[in-house]
Every structure is written in structure tokens, then in C-alpha cells.
Amino acid sequence: MTRNFTHMSLRSRLALLAAVAVAIAVTGAAIACWAVTQQQLTNQLDNNLTNVQASPGYVQALLRTCGTQQTGAGTSDSSPTPYTIQVVTADGTVCTAPGKSTIKVLADDVAVARGLKSSALHDSEAEDGVVMRVATSKETATPGWASRSIAISIAQPLTVVDEPLETLALLLFGVAGFGVVGAATAGLAIARAGLRPIERLTQTVEHIADTDDLSTQIPVSGEDEINRLARSFNSMTTALAESRDRQQQLIADAGHELRTPLTSLRTNIELLIRSENSGRVLPSTMRTELLDSITEQITELSSLVTDLQELSRQEGRSAHRTLQVEPLHEIAASALRRSRLRGPNLSFVDALEPWYVRAERHALERAIVNLLDNAVKFSPPGGEVAISLRGGTLQVRDHGPGIPEQDLLYVFERFWRSPSARSLPGSGLGLSIVSHVVTQAGGKVDLQNAQGGGTVATVRIPGAPTPPPGVEPSGH
């Protein structure tokens, strides 16, 4: 049963659950109604039997009929009655009116006749098999019998209660059945209407799974849970589409950038191999140049792969990154120490004021190193590289040739390199990594030509000159 239920559609399950819930509620209400009605009818019958009093004349007539009338008895009263009336004596003798079936006397009736109980109320069975409700009381009002021990039993068939209860049971059964069928029908209709947005969502998901078309969107027309789910799904597919586009673009750009050094490397190696196979030794100067070119191309490939890994790592961890309070001035000083080794013929000037930001230390240091490496690469021999941090603004300044104004719009794009810089080593990913890291830290980066020549890179990251109270910077 459980397995069949789980294999049903959601719409059918909701309709079935609605029908079961209504069936339980209606059945419980019907049983309670029937029980209350039974109790009320039984109490009403008991009150009627208890309040009915047999007239002395009727009792005298009944006693004469049974042959137990004493001298001086009153006149008879043979008026018809819907009740069965019988006399019970202390020895258990029963005297029933003619035409009425004698009702079985119980011990409680005899106890009332003997004066041991004031009354008795119970069910009993008549000789004709009819179940009767019997009320027995002490008889003291019949002339000539006050001194004798007798009791009067007044009874009525229980059919006066059972027949209305049977009719009520049939009526309640019909109402319950109609309610269950109506609940199932209404539940199916409500489930169909309520699940229509989910059905559209399911169809969209199936369409995307079949066609791999992430541009498909679900119409959103409200603020309820279903529309919120649709909006979240649309956001997810949009993010997936953008991620796939970025991935495809990265693969295409990486393939393009890798093709040039690999082609050159292959050409040089084939030239060396051909020289060895043909026995014609290359001049030592040309051989040295080929080997240097191969070394340079391998270094360029290594740098490109390293930058690709770093960029992929940054993007992959951006959604799961936990930013901590970091001393930007200390990170900048560490990056400067690393860059000094790459520009031994340059002079470096630094002015770093304390500034604390929320970022990832390793990524932020790599970004500053990239800015300094660019400054070192484009600075003339004996030039100066300056790095400053004031009021939360980090600037890296060089005195190189600068960047053409029309190229400034593309400097942070992946693999983009200025025509004047394509002959220099580099992968074209350094500034892309800088932009990504700074954006993840909530900041902005800008690159402009400086007055007097050269370029200045400006990084602004929200922070404060002192760490937040109770927070220990991770760099300490």
C-alpha cells in the first residue's frame, strides 16, 4: 500500500489525502451525532416511563383479571394505553393485562415489590421476543392493596428508540459518503489548480534537461511560495548559463593563448630534432637562441597555467569563501617584499598606513603582487615604483610608457594584452585576477594613466584604520 501511494502522482495523493481526512472527520462527527441522539432518545424514554402513573382503576381491573381482587376494590378503568403494565408481587407473581405479552421479571422488580428498592429501570424481554424498556415502582395508591407488597412495571418496546436511530444511521451514512466523494472531487480540482505552477516548473526543468537550454525562464506573477521557487529557479538557471558561458569563454581564450607558445615551441623543437637527424649541426649561436626561446616559451606556458589555476580557484571558492579581517597594510608590505626581488634595478617607495578589511589574505596578496609585477615589468631601468595606502585607498604607480586611452576599457578582461605589451612576458590574466579578488572583497579597482607618465592602479576596499572591537586580525 505504501509503495503504491509513493508511486502515485502528487495530484492524486493530495486528492486521496483530502478524501481520507474528510472521511475521518465526517465519520467521527456521524458517530458522535448518532451516540448523542441515542442517549437523548433513551433518556426521553426513561423519563416517560418513570413519569407515567397507572390509574388505580386500571390496576384494580388488572388485578381482577388476574383473579387476585380483594373485596372492596374500586371500579375498573380499562382505557387503552401504549404501554404494557403489569403487577409484580413479592413472591414474583406477574399479572399482565389481557392482550399484552408478559415481560420477564428480574430480581430488581421483585426487590421493589418487597420494599427493598424504591424503583428499577432496565431492559427485559417479553414472551413474544420483543425487547422492552421497563420502569418498576412501588404501588401504594390502589385501594385495598396498600398493606400488600406489590410493584407496578410500566414498559414500552425499544423499537421507539431503535427505529429513529436506524433511520438516522442511514441518513448519516449517505451524508458521509456524499462528503467523501465531494471532498475527493474538490481535492482533485484544488490540487490541479494549486499544482499548475509546479507542473509548469516541472515541464521547464524537463525541457532544460532534454535540450540543455538554460535560457528558458518560468513566468513569475506573485510573491507566494511557488512564485518564489520559480524566481529562485530562474536565478539558478541564469547563474548556470553565465557560468557555462564564462567557462566556455575561458576554454576558448585559454586555447587561443596556449596555441601560440605551443606552436612556437613545437617549431623550435622540430628544428632541433631535424638538425640532429640530418647530421647538420646548427651554429652554436642559433642553437643557443633556440634553446633560450624554448626556455622562455616553457616559462610563459607555466605562467599561463599558474594564472589559469589561480583564476579558476578564485571563482570556484567565491561562493564558499569565508572572509576574515585582514591588515591590508601588512599584506601590501609582504607583496612589496616579493616584488623587490623581481626588480633589482628599480627603486621602491612605500607609504602604508594601517587599514583593516574583510578579505582572503592569500588572494589579496596575490592581487597586489600582480599590480606590482605590472609596474616592475613596464618600468624603465633605474625607474621608480611607488605603493601607498592612505584612507583605505591603495595605489601602485610606475613611470613606464603608460596605456593608450582606447585600451584602458579592456585592461581587466581575460587574456587581453595591449599591442605594445604582447612582446613582453605575461598571460594577460593578472589584472583579471586583481579585479575578481577586489570585487569579492567588496571593493573596486581602476587603472589610469598618471600625470607625468606611467600608470597608476587604484584599489579601494571598505574597511577601517582599526580592527573591529573584539576581532583579532588573522595576520597577527
| Domains of the chain with bracketed CATH | 58-160 (3.30.450), 238-312 (1.10.287.130), 321-464 (3.30.565.10)
Threshold 0.75, pTM exceeds: no
**Cβ neighbourhood burial of 77 (10 Å; 0-12, 13-18, 19+):** middle
CA distance 186 to 113: 63
Residues forming a β-bridge with 393: 390, 460
Contact 454, 374 (CB under 8 A): no
Our CA dihedral for 167, 171, 172, 175, rounded to 10 degrees, sits at: 180
Print pLDDT tens along the chain (476 aa).
555 555 666 677 777 777 788 888 888 888 898 899 888 888 888 888 888 776 666 666 666 666 544 433 333 444 456 788 888 888 888 888 777 888 898 888 888 888 888 888 888 888 888 888 888 888 665 555 444 578 888 888 988 888 888 888 888 888 888 878 887 787 777 777 767 777 777 777 787 778 877 777 777 777 777 778 778 888 888 888 877 777 776 676 666 556 666 777 888 888 888 887 887 777 888 888 878 778 877 876 776 677 666 666 665 555 455 678 899 999 999 999 988 887 778 899 999 999 999 888 888 888 898 899 888 888 888 889 999 999 999 999 998 888 888 887 878 776 666 655 555 555 567 788 888 889 888 899 999 988 888 899 999 999 999 888 766 666 54
For residue 124, what is its C-alpha cell? 427485559
Residues forming a β-bridge with 359: 324
pLDDT at 264: 76
pLDDT at 146: 46
Give CA 272 to chain center in angstroms: 65
Question: Who contacts 340 (Cβ-Cβ below 8 Å, separation ≥6)?
Answer: 348
pLDDT at 417: 61
Cite the beta strand spans of 108-149 per DSSP E.
119-125, 131-138
pLDDT at 333: 93
Residue found by looking up cell 591588515 in the block:
327
pLDDT at 76: 41
CA distance to 142, 401, 411, per residue, from 451 (Å): 135, 12, 19
Give CA 407 to chain center in angstroms: 49
Our CA dihedral for 433, 436, 437, 439, rounded to 10 degrees, sits at: 150
CA distance 302 to 113: 119
For residue 313, what is its C-alpha cell? 580557484
Angle CA 217–246–426, to nearest 5:
170
H-helix or E-strand spanning residue 114:
none
Tell how many helices (H) and how many strands (E) occur in the chain: 11, 13
For residue 456, what is its C-alpha cell? 597608476
Residue found by looking up cell 576596499 in the block:
461
Q: Which amino acid is at 261?
A: P
Question: Who contacts 109 (Cβ-Cβ below 8 Å, separation ≥6)?
Answer: 88, 120, 134, 136, 151, 153
Q: What is the pLDDT of residues 361-400, one digit of tens each?
A: 888 888 898 899 888 888 888 889 999 999 999 999 998 8
CA distance 207 to 303: 42
